[in-house]
Chain A
């Protein structure tokens, strides 16, 4: 286990300097040291997507990334997108289309959608489904989630 050292990164627009083991999973640091609720532990293996955050704008699985991977980089979590009062357009689309049942996977779905729209503002249905293929939902909310993404696409174009 590497010795703790100072690691600086930007999280949700704020510079954070942490004195931690650089191999600590980014997910645990975000949740336990920065008290963020958005990214969730789902599998610890990068399989399910519940832990997704944006790293320099790309959706990554924070459960399998060491803190050092985020050093000097820009991390955005669900909290960094928007708030209850002023949600990000993608969050607003998921709320409007009721894109959650239990909602545990919701973080990953929203993050994957934000990243998708960044690189492809007008994805086809197949591209949406491909982009979410490795984000697992067990409640079977896929219909509402797809509707949420389509709404986000439409509102971005509008």
Chain B
């Protein structure tokens, strides 16, 4: 049986139960509390001990992946003297746990665990009193929940509580255990949640399933990542619900102000509907460009707040022997949760139940009450685990989304945000700009420190409140730029001020809050002073430190790391590699000013700088940490590791990019983070201070990071970097200011496109020709007219001839027509070729069919456009035509009226096609070439008569006819795809051999060339029914088109193409690594189908095929080959351009850059996904 502490009982219910000791504290009733079921909801429970010996303990803070659940359980088990596995921690559940504010500022152990510990002690005292009465003695000991009397008698906690209903107010006065008596606290304990997480147990909110649950997706407005400005919440013009009516299982499209959500029975339908929903938005202008974040911060309106002003700073500055004015800047960064936020809401009968990964369940409940106009007492938030958030993510926003959608459809709804939405809309870790003025006296001592910081951030109100217009988009100004703004050094004069300002983009606290950038300034500046004074940087710091724990820590870390004393940058070089070591220290001071400290931390960072590529590698980080008493030393160590790695990533790599004032980083290629290959060696020195109170360890170790790394880079290079992140471009520029990258290559415009060639010639060519006569309708022949063998032969011919490729609309019945073909002459709709009498070819006699196939004339006498390849079909043998007719007529008729093809003048005059035919059409069955083998002739027939390969692969003249002679199979553009040359003009890096053609046509994939995608994918799929002898014949014939290609071997090509360098020396390399590298990076994942260095498209003259694949991915019709996701909604035009350029340079070195990429991208964006 489940132990009672694990049963999901609300606090009011629990207080009514027998067999419970509850430690409670009164509070104001939950807003909206009504008489009835929850009328007594004015008491919190901190600890409940049950008559089965189990213990439930309640805390308002939640576990964000830090292991706090385990540490809190240790505290309770220790004070109560029970086993750890007897304790169940209930975290953040609004019906059960107390409201202790949001889980922020490393406060859980330091602040919110205090009443918990007192309550556990209170419970122990109450239980001992019961035991004393029972056993008749006060001289009692407790071990694992068993109370022992000196005479050997014992009674368990559980037994003491049988039938009891004990309610004890939390006095705060129960005696606490002495640290030296601890058995559980202070010992390393395995995390309680990891086994379930490692085996797929139900623990994450993402995995919550409720009966009857639907799936929701949201469609966010185009003002990505902004939450202030008049356009917020009122930019929606219209939503076209019909645009998703074709998607089966869509339940509702919900629109409230700028909030849009779709709900569907299945998740993939919801996802598709969200992608395809047509929405019109008003134009808007982002308030700041953010191309220059520093400028934006200086221009953002602000109010100065002086935090500290001691000594006469102005006089000291005026009298300084050496003025040291410096500016340090920090970029916008992302929390970057690995799991995009998710929530499940069930809103019915005036109540809202919510399963959430929120960081602040009670604060969320208040916001939801406002959003839903519902009393808080009717909202229950169950907090489940979620992906780490490091401050903030969209966990609350998605709860608002789910609540709105559930209310609209009256059923439970699970909403999953996309990666792109999480990246775009999470409240960013704010940028920061710090101006320091200061000076040294003649002795090299600091005379003055004048510090001003700008930090545009607030608490990022629930997005739903803003989108629905419930809350006006007027940004609050929160005073949060003051964290650790006061340096830890005792300078003789000091003036510290912050410019309080509203956010520019949606921003909120991120691990270390403003302390991290402020410390970057404090610790870089003092390092600069030490170098200026010619004093060792650690020694210099110690001159100004007064805090004994800080002094101990700094000395201990320097010693552990093997600190190398120096009086200036040492610039140790070995070839291109420069090595350096840097120091930084911080006491993370947080919460409302003046705040208080969490753990102390100091770093010694060792780096290697490649002076040629600019790459900085953190090779070793030694971090000292003083957190006082460590509840779970393993947990603290893991937090330090996490802080070191995440902060190293932030310092070296991370910066949100903006385009037109909007967030442009939508996936991991655009926002790279440290990977396993880049993780430094890490040593952690934990200061043993069990006698000191426990301190928060969730953020402190990240605070010295960037300064320690910058100081190490300075030691290595002699150059000071004051702007995070230290990417290779920044380092290269800093090291070689004279050798700035030369201006971009001159671009020439590139003109192409069939459409541009269409002239007026066609009018003259065919004006005199008349109509062809109609052939009388025939009754469709019955299925018994033709033999099974004939029909089967026809089936293969239809496949080889690719009838269905053009005559089937997406999602439509096979051969029922309706596919739009965009030609240079306009849009042509394919027709219904099922044997339906009215709408298809059911009234075609064989004679009418043969005329259509050989002469391009429909039964009624209309000329067909040569998009229908009768020019090649005319070469078919009579037997094959009859077999094809037999097959088509044997299929089920489908009534399907397709849109009428309406070309613009003069192409709309169909009789003109007669003239065209006169000029370009050579009717008549193909004669075999006696000089060639039977296989070649078969291949020729399949390729040229049936397969009409030239329809795509041969360029057409101005009148749309395939060119002849050398131009045959010379390659052409079709519907935005390049059908590459099959003759000697092929640009493939390796020549296409007969074996290559066979593999490609048979499987849709060639190891040496690539995957069939775009218009070619369905062609290969159709060929699957053909016997292998036919595929071999086609391959044999196609190989003969380019009879003596230059020999090439793949090895040099592969060698010439460097896989992405380790760190990504350019934005293109980083985009490639993040977005493409998992499959194309030569890594160990299920491999790339073809090395990009061998891919024909990467070596082609046009970027179109690669570009379209990047935008729309590959959905091969043959399962199992080359699936690729599209990045249309994940990368900006600029990012696509950079990526294309990188792929071309890296994988096809020696080829000229593709011209006019922006133009090509703009064109491809307009084309629908294939």
Contacts and interface: CB of A to CB of B under 8 A. Distances in A.
B416 A41 contact: yes
Given A98-B191, A101-B66, A141 B642 contact: yes
Contacts of B388: 101-102, 104, 138-139
A71 to B, nearest CB: 6
Chain A CB within 10 Å, residue with most, of B190, B215, B667, B668: B668
B67 A101 contact: yes
Interface in B811-830: 811
Interface stretch (B85-93, B251-259, B672-680, B709-717): B672-680
B387 A32 contact: no
B1083 interface: yes
B272 A1 contact: yes
Interface string B257-294: 00000000011100010000000000000000000000
Interface residues of A, number: 83
A39 to B, nearest CB: 9
Given A21-B268, A47-B1075, A130-B1084, A137 B338 contact: yes
Contacts of B679: 129, 142-143, 146
Nearest to A137: B338
A129 to B, nearest CB: 4
B194 A100 contact: yes
B1147 interface: no
B956 interface: no
A47 B422 CA distance: 15
A61 B200 contact: no
Interface of B: 64-67, 190-191, 193-204, 206-207, 209, 215, 247, 266-268, 272, 336-340, 385-388, 390, 416, 418-419, 634, 638, 641-646, 649, 667-669, 673-677, 679, 682, 810-811, 1074-1075, 1077-1079, 1081, 1083-1086, 1115, 1119-1120, 1123-1125, 1127, 1130
Nearest to A64: B1125
A37 B641 CA distance: 27
Given A24-B268, A101-B638, A133-B675, 14 more contacts: A28-B268, A40-B204, A45-B1127, A48-B338, A87-B195, A100-B191, A100-B197, A100-B198, A116-B1084, A130-B677, A133-B677, A138-B646, A141-B641, A142-B645
Interface string A102-116: 111111001010011
30 contacts: A1-B811, A24-B266, A28-B268, A40-B204, A45-B419, A45-B667, A48-B338, A64-B1123, A65-B1123, A69-B1120, A87-B199, A94-B194, A99-B194, A100-B197, A101-B642, A102-B64, A103-B65, A103-B193, A103-B203, A104-B338, A112-B1085, A130-B1083, A136-B675, A138-B388, A138-B390, A138-B646, A140-B642, A142-B645, A142-B679, A144-B641
Contacts of B1085: 49, 59-61, 112, 134
Nearest 10 CB-CB pairings of A with B = A102-B65, A140-B645, A102-B388, A140-B642, A134-B1078, A103-B197, A38-B200, A68-B1119, A104-B387, A37-B207
A84 interface: yes
A82 B199 contact: yes
A102 to B, nearest CB: 3
A79 B337 CA distance: 23
A41 B194 CA distance: 19
Interface in A37-92: 37-38, 40-50, 55, 58-61, 63-66, 68-69, 71, 77-79, 81-84, 87, 91
A9 to B, nearest CB: 11
A101 B68 CA distance: 10
Nearest to B639: A101
A47 B646 contact: no
B1083 to A, nearest CB: 6
A122 interface: no
A150 to B, nearest CB: 13
Nearest to A47: B668
Given A23-B1115, A69-B1123, A35 B209 contact: yes
A134 B193 contact: no
Interface in A127-158: 128-146
A49 B1078 contact: yes
